[in-house]
């Protein structure tokens, strides 16, 4: 199967699984007890760990919270057996105190990494999709920035594509916001008690559901973070999930002439989009940097079987009509926007929601991944509900339920209360169709509409050619890495990675470091240099730099100076 279609590539659905090589690396760490040397980005004021023990933490937690486990980690790695949501664990972590706490009243758990050398920062990392589990891997990345790292299991244990756990209101509300809210509130108190010193700065980094969580908590409590790095936020839950079901209705049954029912179709369409639209942004570089220009000009008939001379994976006329629906905003019959359409250049990711779990198995109308589960569990339609029963009334019902009970959606646009305190860097990949990037842009636009010029505290960066949260198609190879949620562990040294590899772990190339500089030193972030690497061997353990390019504050875009090396960021400027 082509790279990119697996759940492993879709952050909304799943954390990357540890592959064989990572597993080998992992065991090398286990055997050697190795600990990678970490260069701290900022001077560290050494705070000695006081007492990393179960009895100490038990003595400082309030009633209603159980301390499950406390471990002083000196071997560079940490593992929590039985974590099905986040089964990959960090290696190369500094010496730290790992703690697992359980709020037994509301029934959620959270984990903390408290480094022995603490620089007084506090970092909350986000979750993905509807996954249940503590995200230790990204806490391991986070703790390498020198602060405490925290993550919650969001109140349940579950793997990819599974929403069947959401059978009580408490579990739904835990996933929506309560688990993270309670975890951060208590986590901050515990950190300050443990070190006997106040937290100086509180940060957030998350993508996908993690992006939604970041926005949600800023909206719930403007004092929760000083800085938030928000990736591809799945912020509009009550509309995103009905949109998924709508996509299914456009494609069922599998056998219909209009159904987008095999992966070859998506590759063919993506290649044609690249062919027609690459140069529309002024530079032929396999990257579509102006999808809006593509939207104006793209001629989909070129891939039709009755028109194209190339009959490989060609499209029926009816299939091209389905693609047009995909690209178009989903608006109900009474004219209300539900969800922005898919972006030109995102076609390889359409498979995430459109391909069936089992090819051509229409027996239960099974679409991949979430398959009507939001309606069945979050909306209490019952386990027998099928996406073929979907109609626009589900949207109104989802809105009503979310507003009344669950409140997962982060759709407050006036962030005035946060403006006086914190900064936001938000980003989205222009080739993302797991959380279609236009809906991320739409959130930003609505915020501008609500608040006017927001550049003093909120900056949005589009990443041309990037898929959902990380990665880029093989025939695009766009610079995408900026050290944001989930990114660094996609490339060697994988589970022990942090920031941007090959020495680019600085505030010009790492968005979290850039955010810290903005918050702490007032250095405005006007561009972030994204990187793309080549693997140098089949084992995928070594990389070299391929190309770098600045990402610009929306609506500015990167323009080539017309003469320099296009793979060098210095040949580009934001305007
Ligand atoms: C347990 O969680 C609930 C919901 O987040 C919160 O209101 C409560 O304060 C938490 N208890 C403690 C002791 O943190
Ligand atoms: C025909 O389309 C296939 C699938 O997109 C592609 O791999 C192949 O290169 C194309 N052939 C020609 C002659 O353009
Ligand atoms: C629309 O869908 C809902 C949920 O499946 C169902 O209860 C309702 O009867 C449907 N309405 C129409 C007009 O089909
Ligand atoms: C956002 O606003 C810009 C500027 O007004 C506009 O060009 C763009 O189409 C908008 N995009 C979305 C997705 O709303
Ligand atoms: C990286 O890969 C690209 C595309 O395959 C190739 O054109 C380029 O020469 C490679 N660069 C290096 C430094 O290996
Ligand atoms: Ca281009």
Distance (Å, whole) CA 530 – CA 510: 8
pLDDT of residue 20: 37
For ligand 4, what atom is nearest to the CA of residue 292? 9
Residues making up the chain, counted from first to last: 575
Q: Which of 74, 106, 210 minimizes the C-alpha distance to 151?
A: 210
As a whole number of Å, the CA-based R_g of the chain is 23
Distance (Å, whole) CA 136 – CA 422: 26
Above pLDDT 90, what percent of the chain? 85
Q: Which tokens belong to 285?
A: 């570089």
Average pLDDT of the segment spanning 4-19:
39
**Lowest model confidence (mean pLDDT) among 71-85, 138-152, 371-385, 544-558:** 371-385
Is any ligand 3 atom within 6 A of the Cβ of residue 513?
Answer: no
Distance (Å, whole) CA 86 – CA 131: 8
Is any ligand 4 atom within 6 A of the Cβ of residue 445?
Answer: yes
Distance (Å, whole) CA 215 – CA 287: 29
Residue of 284, 534, 548 to test ligand 5 pocket, by largest number of atoms within 8 Å of CB: 534
DSSP label at residue 301: G
pLDDT band at 153 (very low <50, low <70, confident <90, very high): very high
pLDDT band at 305 (very low <50, low <70, confident <90, very high): very high
Distance (Å, whole) CA 571 – CA 567: 8
How remote is the CA of residue 470 from the centroid of ligand 1, in Å? 33
In angstroms, the Cα distances linking 278 to 144, 285, 303, 345, 461 are 38, 7, 17, 9, 20
pLDDT of residue 9: 43
How remote is the CA of residue 540 from the centroid of ligand 5, in Å? 15
Average pLDDT of the segment spanning 164-168:
95
Q: Which residues contact 353 (CB under 8 A, 6 or more apart)?
A: 244, 247, 248, 367, 368, 369, 370, 433, 434
How remote is the CA of residue 105 from the centroid of ligand 1, in Å? 7
Residue of 310, 314, 473, 474 to test ligand 2 pocket, by largest number of atoms within 8 Å of CB: 310
Q: Within a 13 Å sphere around the CA of 419, how many CA atoms are in the beta-carbon half?
A: 16
Distance (Å, whole) CA 205 – CA 320: 38
Residue of 103, 110, 188 to test ligand 1 pocket, by largest number of atoms within 8 Å of CB: 103
How remote is the CA of residue 275 from the centroid of ligand 6, in Å? 10
Only one residue has tokens 């509301």, namely: 106
Query: Which burial class, exposed, middle or buried, applies to 473 when counting CB atoms under 10 A from its CB (0-12, 13-18, 19+)?
Result: buried
pLDDT of residue 8: 38
pLDDT of residue 34: 32
Distance (Å, whole) CA 330 – CA 328: 6
Q: Which of 159, 163, 161, 202 minimizes the C-alpha distance to 183?
A: 202
Distance (Å, whole) CA 568 – CA 510: 17
- Assess contact for 480 and 465: CB atoms under 8 A: yes
Starting from the CA of residue 537, give the closest ligand. Answer: 5
Q: Which tokens belong to 333?
A: 């019959």
Return the SS3 of 71.
strand
Q: At what angle do helices 237-251 and 317-327 cross, to 10 degrees?
A: 170
Write down the mean pLDDT value for the chain.
91
Domain ranges of the chain: 44-117+127-198, 200-235+410-574, 240-405
How remote is the CA of residue 405 from the centroid of ligand 3, in Å? 21
Is any ligand 5 atom within 6 A of the Cβ of residue 534?
Answer: yes
Is any ligand 3 atom within 6 A of the Cβ of residue 394?
Answer: yes
How remote is the CA of residue 492 from the centroid of ligand 3, in Å? 50
**Lowest model confidence (mean pLDDT) among 44-48, 256-260, 560-564:** 44-48
Distance (Å, whole) CA 508 – CA 512: 10
Cβ atoms within 10 Å of 520's Cβ, excluding its own = 15
Is any ligand 4 atom within 6 A of the Cβ of residue 556?
Answer: no
How remote is the CA of residue 477 from the centroid of ligand 5, in Å? 9
For ligand 2, what atom is nearest to the CA of residue 271? 5
Q: Is the pLDDT reported for residue 4 higher than 90? A: no
- Assess contact for 357 and 370: CB atoms under 8 A: no
Q: Tens digits of per-residue pLDDT, 484-543?
A: 999 999 999 999 999 999 999 999 999 999 999 999 999 999 999 999 999 999 999 999
Nearest CA to ligand 2 atom 13: 310
Query: Which burial class, exposed, middle or buried, applies to 310 when counting CB atoms under 10 A from its CB (0-12, 13-18, 19+)?
Result: exposed
Q: Which tokens belong to 539?
A: 């084992």
Query: Which burial class, exposed, middle or buried, applies to 125 when counting CB atoms under 10 A from its CB (0-12, 13-18, 19+)?
Result: buried
How remote is the CA of residue 531 from the centroid of ligand 1, in Å? 41
Is any ligand 4 atom within 6 A of the Cβ of residue 438?
Answer: yes
Above pLDDT 70, what percent of the chain? 89
Q: Which tokens belong to 547?
A: 């190309």
Average pLDDT of the segment spanning 142-165:
95
For ligand 1, what atom is nearest to the CA of residue 65? 13
pLDDT of residue 380: 95
For ligand 5, what atom is nearest to the CA of residue 536? 14
User: What lines the ligand 1 site, CB under 6 Å?
Assistant: 62, 64-65, 103, 105-106, 178, 181-182, 186
Q: Is the pLDDT reported for residue 92 higher than 90? A: yes
Distance (Å, whole) CA 70 – CA 49: 13
Is any ligand 2 atom within 6 A of the Cβ of residue 312?
Answer: yes
**Lowest model confidence (mean pLDDT) among 8-17, 141-150, 190-199:** 8-17
pLDDT of residue 74: 97
pLDDT of residue 434: 95
How remote is the CA of residue 214 from the centroid of ligand 2, in Å? 43
Cβ atoms within 10 Å of 76's Cβ, excluding its own = 21
Q: Which tokens belong to 20?
A: 């064989």
Return the SS3 of 496.
helix
* E strand map for 21-119: 65-73, 96-103, 108-115
Average pLDDT of the segment spanning 233-251:
96
Distance (Å, whole) CA 94 – CA 498: 12
Q: Which tokens belong to 339?
A: 């969800």
How remote is the CA of residue 533 from the centroid of ligand 5, in Å? 8
Name the pTM for this structure: 0.93
How remote is the CA of residue 434 from the centroid of ligand 5, in Å? 28
Cβ atoms within 10 Å of 555's Cβ, excluding its own = 11
Is any ligand 2 atom within 6 A of the Cβ of residue 310?
Answer: yes
How remote is the CA of residue 346 from the centroid of ligand 4, in Å? 18
Is any ligand 2 atom within 6 A of the Cβ of residue 309?
Answer: no
Is any ligand 4 atom within 6 A of the Cβ of residue 442?
Answer: yes
Strands 558-560 and 65-73: unpaired
How remote is the CA of residue 174 from the centroid of ligand 3, in Å? 29
For ligand 3, what atom is nearest to the CA of residue 385? 5
Residue of 546, 548, 567 to test ligand 5 pocket, by largest number of atoms within 8 Å of CB: 546
Cα angle vertex 164, ends 160, 168, to 5°? 130
pLDDT of residue 359: 55
Q: Which of 250, 441, 444 minimizes the C-alpha distance to 346?
A: 441
Nearest CA to ligand 1 atom 8: 182
- Assess contact for 146 and 99: CB atoms under 8 A: no
Q: Is the pLDDT reported for residue 567 higher than 60? A: yes
Distance (Å, whole) CA 569 – CA 549: 4
The more confident residue out of 57 and 21 is: 57
Look at the alpha carbons of 530, 536, 538, 540 in this order and tell me if their dihedral is positive or negative.
Answer: negative
Report how many helices (DSSP H) and strands (DSSP E) the chain contains, helices first: 16, 15
Q: Which of 487, 347, 358, 357 minimizes the C-alpha distance to 430?
A: 347
Cβ atoms within 10 Å of 321's Cβ, excluding its own = 14
Q: Tens digits of per-residue pLDDT, 320-379?
A: 999 999 999 999 999 999 999 999 999 999 998 998 765 555 444 446 567 899 999 999
Nearest CA to ligand 3 atom 13: 391
Starting from the CA of residue 310, give the closest ligand. Answer: 2
Q: Tens digits of per-residue pLDDT, 27-43?
A: 333 333 333 333 444 44
Distance (Å, whole) CA 89 – CA 336: 44
């Amino acid at each position: 199967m082509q790279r990119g279609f697996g759940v492993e590539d879709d952050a909304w659905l799943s954390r990357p699984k540890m592959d064989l090589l990572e597993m080998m690396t992992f065991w090398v760490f286990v055997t050697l007890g190795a600990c990678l040397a970490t260069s701290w980005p900022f001077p560290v004021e050494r705070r000695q760990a006081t007492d990393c023990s179960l009895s100490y933490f038990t003595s400082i937690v309030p009633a209603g919270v159980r301390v499950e486990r406390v471990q002083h980690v000196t071997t560079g790695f940490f593992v929590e057996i039985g974590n099905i949501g986040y089964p990959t664990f960090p290696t190369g972590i500094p010496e730290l105190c790992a703690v697992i706490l359980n709020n037994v009243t509301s029934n959620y758990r959270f984990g903390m990494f408290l480094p022995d050398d603490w620089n007084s920062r506090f970092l909350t990392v986000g979750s993905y999709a509807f996954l249940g589990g503590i995200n230790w891997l990204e806490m391991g990345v986070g703790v390498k920035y020198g602060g405490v790292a925290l993550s919650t299991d969001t109140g349940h244990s579950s793997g990819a594509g599974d929403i069947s756990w959401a059978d009580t209101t408490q579990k739904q509300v835990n996933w929506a916001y309560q688990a993270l809210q309670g975890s951060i509130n208590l986590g901050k108190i515990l950190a300050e008690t443990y070190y006997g010193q106040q937290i100086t700065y509180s940060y957030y980094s998350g993508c996908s559901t993690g992006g939604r969580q970041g926005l949600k908590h800023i909206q719930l409590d403007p004092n929760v973070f000083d800085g938030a790095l928000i990736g591809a936020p799945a912020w509009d839950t009550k509309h995103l999930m009905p949109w998924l079901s709508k996509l299914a209705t456009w494609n069922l049954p599998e056998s219909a002439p209009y159904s987008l029912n095999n992966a070859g179709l998506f590759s063919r369409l993506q290649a044609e989009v690249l062919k027609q639209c690459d140069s529309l942004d002024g530079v032929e570089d396999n990257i579509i940097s102006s999808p809006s220009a593509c939207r104006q000009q793209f001629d989909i008939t070129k891939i039709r079987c009755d028109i194209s001379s190339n009959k490989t994976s060609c499209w029926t006329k009816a299939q091209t009509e389905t693609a047009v629906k995909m690209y178009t905003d989903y608006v109900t019959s009474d004219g209300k926007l539900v969800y922005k359409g898919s972006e030109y250049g995102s076609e390889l990711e359409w498979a995430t929601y459109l391909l069936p779990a089992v090819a051509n198995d229409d027996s239960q109308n099974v679409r991949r991944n979430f398959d009507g589960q939001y309606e069945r569990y979050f909306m209490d339609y019952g386990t027998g509900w099928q996406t073929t029963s979907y109609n626009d009334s589900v949207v109104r019902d989802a809105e009503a339920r979310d507003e009344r009970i669950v409140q997962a959606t982060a759709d407050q646009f006036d962030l005035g209360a946060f403006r006086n305190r914190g900064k936001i860097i938000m980003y989205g990949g222009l080739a993302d169709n797991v959380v279609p990037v236009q809906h991320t842009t739409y959130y930003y636009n609505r915020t501008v509409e609500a608040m006017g010029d927001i550049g003093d505290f909120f900056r949005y960066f589009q990443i041309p050619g990037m898929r959902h949260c990380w990665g880029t198609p093989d025939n695009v190879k766009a610079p995408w890495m900026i050290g944001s949620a989930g990114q660094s562990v996609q490339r060697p040294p994988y589970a022990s990675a942090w920031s941007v590899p090959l020495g680019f772990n600085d505030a010009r190339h790492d968005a979290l470091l850039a955010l810290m500089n903005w918050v702490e030193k007032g250095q405005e972030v006007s561009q972030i240099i994204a990187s793309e690497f080549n693997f140098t061997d089949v084992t995928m353990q070594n990389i070299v730099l391929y190309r770098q390019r600045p990402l610009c504050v929306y609506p500015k875009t990167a323009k080539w100076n017309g003469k320099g090396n296009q793979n060098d960021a210095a040949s580009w400027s934001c305007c």
